[in-house]
Amino acid sequence: MSTLVIADIHLQPNQPNHPINIAFKRFLKEKALNAKTLIILGDLFEVWLGDDISLALFESEIAALRQLSEQNVEILLQYGNRDFLMRKSFCKASGAKLLPEEYEIQVADQNIIMVHGDQLCTADQQYQKMRRWFRNSIIQWIFLHLPKSKRLSIGNKMRNESKQAGSHKSGQLMDVTKEGIAALVQRHPSANILVHGHTHKPTHEQLQVNGKNVQRYVLSDWRPQTSYLSINDNHIQVLDFA
């Protein structure tokens, strides 16, 4: 039985027939159904404005997750930089369990550390400052208590602004840094494999981090390459879901 890992699907709200939303639902039925565990490393949803709004906007995708969890596939999910306001109602409706920001698992003799990846982009200080602000529990509480119409308009505004910010920031500024990776690996001394998403630059490489060999896998965002990671007893593979 395998563990499958995906990230950055960016499901589109209120668009059950969007090609990405359809591909995701097919992936659950055709691939994840045969797995023991499905791990989603953040940004499954394009945006999440609170369970009271977004559960209805992703109704068919939540139902598909629920169906999978009812077939005894464990669903584990990390927050991304666009979807970090899922709460108990989301977990209840989908059957998914929320993971900590840094999730370490051991498979055979490998220690794998998994993160969304935005916390590794330490060169972009403006972004990191904003991230700390949005992850503050008081700020989140206030946001979640705003009227629905207000949250929907803030969500639209943020999406437009992040598109614009992304278009004039350099690719390097928005990528992970050596320092970010080194600090993470230092916090997880036994980890020898790092898996993350966020940058939408799929790769598999060998790194020297703090004098030790670390393999780094970056997951794709399914645009267009629909790859995922499959972890078995003792081997890790990047597979493509066409």
Binding residue positions for Mn(2+): 8, 10, 43, 81, 116, 198, 200
| Nearest in space to 196 (alpha carbons), one of 181, 208, 211, 186 | 181
Distance CA 46, CA 8 (A): 8
Q: Rank residues 61 and 83 by Cβ distance to Mn ion and give the closer one.
A: 83
The binding site for substrate consists of 81-82, 124, 162, 169, 198
- Residue placing its CB nearer to Mn ion in the complex, 218 or 236: 218
The H-assigned helical ranges of the chain are 19-30, 51-57, 59-70, 88-94, 125-134, 137-144, 148-168, 178-187
Min CB(213)–Mn ion separation in Å? 27
- Nearest distance, CB of residue 202 and Mn ion, angstroms: 14
Output 76 or 176, the one with its CB closest to Mn ion: 176
User: What is the distance in angstroms between the CA of the first residue and the CA of the last residue of the chain?
Assistant: 21
**Residue number with CB closer to Mn ion (43 or 46):** 43
Give the residues lining the site for Mn ion (CB under 5 A): 43, 80-81, 198
Shortest distance, CB of residue 218 to Mn ion, whole angstroms? 12
**Angle at the Cα of 230 (from 239 to 6), degrees rounded to 5?**
80
Task: Report in angstroms how near the CB of residue 199 gets to Mn ion at its nearest.
Answer: 8
